[in-house]
Amino acid sequence: MLRIAICLSLSAVAHAQLTNLGSFNPLNNIDPCGVGFDPATGNLWVYDCFGTSIAQYTPAGVFVSQVARPGESADDCDVELAPAGFVLNSTAIPEGTLLFINGESGVAEIYAIDKSSGAVLASLTTSFGVSHVVGGAYHRTRGTFFLLQDKVPGGSAANRIAEVHPQTGAVLNTFQVSSAGFIINYGDLDISPSGHLLLVSSDESTVAEFTTAGALVQELALPSGVSFLSGIALDGVNGEGWVGSPNGLLWRLGGLPACGAVAYCTAGTTTNGCLPSISGTGAASASAGVGFTLNVANLEGDKSGLFFYSVTGPLATPWGSSSSFLCAAPPTQRTQAQNSGGAPNSCGGSFSLDWNQFIAANPGALGAPFTGGETVYAQAWFRDPPSPKTTNLSNGLRFDVCP
C-alpha cells in the first residue's frame, strides 16, 4: 500500500493537475449551455439553455448586459469571442466580436454579433451538423472553425469534430473523439495556446486534449465538485479558464494545458543518415528567466550549429537541393553557436538551449520584449560539410510564450 501511495504522489507531480480557483452561480438562475470569455473586458458571455438572450457577467458573477440570441432557441449551441479578426462568410469580423454557434436543428450556423447593439454582423451556414453541434471555437493559427457534435445522432455523426472553412462553411477535416473513448453529451471545445483542442462533456469527468488531427494528447481529471460540463473558455495563455454546467454553475480552473510546444515541418536527413528531432521541455515564459529548454537529438556528432527562431510564422521552403526545409519564416534570430558533441560520423550529437534564459539575457533579441501570448517558431541549423548545402536543418518547434 505504501509503495502504491508513493507512485501516485510522484505521478501527480509529473502531470499537470486541474485546480478549482472559484465558482459563481449566474444571476437570474440561468443554466449555461455555452460560455465565452472576453479578453477585452475580462467578462463572460453566457447562454442560458433555450434562452432568448446571451448575457454578459463580470468574473464575480454580476450581470452587465445582454443581446438577443440569433437563430432558434437551442440547447445544442455555443458562445465564443473571436480570438482574432477573420472573414465570416464574406464579412470581415474584428477580434473580440461575439460569436454564437447554433447547432440546434440541421446543420450548424455561426453568427457574429455586435456586443453593444446586438446586431448580427454576419452569419455562415456550415456544412456540418445533424441538429447536435454543441460546441465550437475559431482556431487563430489555422484560420478555421472547429465544431463538436454530441452522441445523440449515433453512428458516424456522433461524437464527431469537424474543421470548417469560415468563408464557405465546407468541412475540411473530421474525426470522431469516441474512438479515443471520449463521449459528448452536453459539451464544448476551446483552443489551447499551443493550438490543441480542449474538450469537455457532461458525460466525462476529465478535460481531454486532442491535436487538430484527432490524436488524444492527454486527459486531465476535473477537480472534486466540478462536473456535468457544457462549456469551456480559456481566459489567457497561462492555463486558466472557465467551465460551465447546465446545472447552473460556472467554475474557474487552473492547470489547463498552456504554452505547450509542438513539433512541425520536416527534418533533413544528414550525410550519415541522422534524422534530427527538436523538442521543448518546460514552458516558454516572458518573465521566468529560466525553464524552457530547446533540445535537438539525433544530430551528426561533433558538428557546430545553433538554434534560431522566428516570430513571423512557419515555413516549409526547401534548403537548396538538400532534404532539409527552412521551417521558420524570416526574419529569424540566431542564438549562440554550440558543438553537438558525440562521435564524428555518428548520430550521437545534440544541442540544448534554455530559450527563457536566452531572451532574458538578450533584451534586443527578435520579438523582445515578450509579454506572453506570442507564438515562436524555432529550428536548429548545423554543419554537415558533404551535404549539398554543407549544412542541414532539424524539423521545427512551435511554442506559445506564457506571461
Closest listed residue to residue 382, CA positions, set 257, 272, 252, 263 = 272
- Cα of 83 vs its chain's centroid, Å: 11
Q: Which three cell numbers stand for residue 97?
A: 466580436
Out of 85, 94, 106, 313, the only residue in the binding site for Ca ion (CB under 5 A) is 106
Residues 319 to 348 in contact with Ca ion, rule: CB under 5 A = none
Decide whether 75 or 354 has the Cβ nearer to Ca ion: 75
Stretch that binds Ca ion, among 77-85, 150-158, 253-261, 299-307 (CB under 5 A): 77-85
In the complex, what is the shortest distance from the CB of residue 92 to Ca ion, in angstroms, rounded to a whole number? 22
Closest listed residue to residue 382, CA positions, set 265, 274, 264, 292 = 274
Out of 31, 48, 78, 163, the only residue in the binding site for Ca ion (CB under 5 A) is 78
Contact criterion met (CB below 8 Å) for 207 and 200: yes
Report the distance separating Cα 241 and Cα 254, nearest Å.
7
What is the identity of the amino acid at 164? V
Report the distance separating Cα 310 and Cα 123, nearest Å.
35
CA angle 264, 387, 268 (to 5 degrees): 10
In the complex, what is the shortest distance from the CB of residue 71 to Ca ion, in angstroms, rounded to a whole number? 7
Q: Which three cell numbers stand for residue 367?
A: 520579438
In the complex, what is the shortest distance from the CB of residue 341 to Ca ion, in angstroms, rounded to a whole number? 46
Stretch that binds Ca ion, among 59-67, 102-110, 295-303, 354-362 (CB under 5 A): 102-110
Stretch that binds Ca ion, among 111-119, 134-142, 248-256, 307-315 (CB under 5 A): 134-142
Out of 31, 48, 163, 188, the only residue in the binding site for Ca ion (CB under 5 A) is 188
Stretch that binds Ca ion, among 130-138, 276-284, 363-371, 380-388 (CB under 5 A): 130-138
Decide whether 246 or 280 has the Cβ nearer to Ca ion: 246
Out of 31, 48, 75, 354, the only residue in the binding site for Ca ion (CB under 5 A) is 75
In the complex, what is the shortest distance from the CB of residue 337 to Ca ion, in angstroms, rounded to a whole number? 45
In the complex, what is the shortest distance from the CB of residue 353 to Ca ion, in angstroms, rounded to a whole number? 36
Site string for Ca ion, 142-181 (x = CB under 5 A): ----------------------------------------
Contact criterion met (CB below 8 Å) for 255 and 220: yes
**Contact status: 137 vs Ca ion (CB under 5 A):** yes
Decide whether 244 or 268 has the Cβ nearer to Ca ion: 244
**Contact status: 76 vs Ca ion (CB under 5 A):** yes
User: Residue 72 CB: number of other CB atoms within 10 A?
Assistant: 12
74: CB partners within 8 A, 6+ apart: 33, 47, 49, 50, 102, 103, 104
**Contact status: 73 vs Ca ion (CB under 5 A):** no
Sheet of strand 187-191, all strands in order from the earlier edge strand to the far edge: 187-191, 197-201, 206-210, 216-221
**Contact status: 234 vs Ca ion (CB under 5 A):** no
Stretch that binds Ca ion, among 137-145, 240-248, 262-270, 271-279 (CB under 5 A): 137-145
In the complex, what is the shortest distance from the CB of residue 123 to Ca ion, in angstroms, rounded to a whole number? 11
In the complex, what is the shortest distance from the CB of residue 215 to Ca ion, in angstroms, rounded to a whole number? 20
Positions in the binding site for Ca ion (CB under 5 A)? 75-76, 78, 105-106, 135, 137, 188, 190
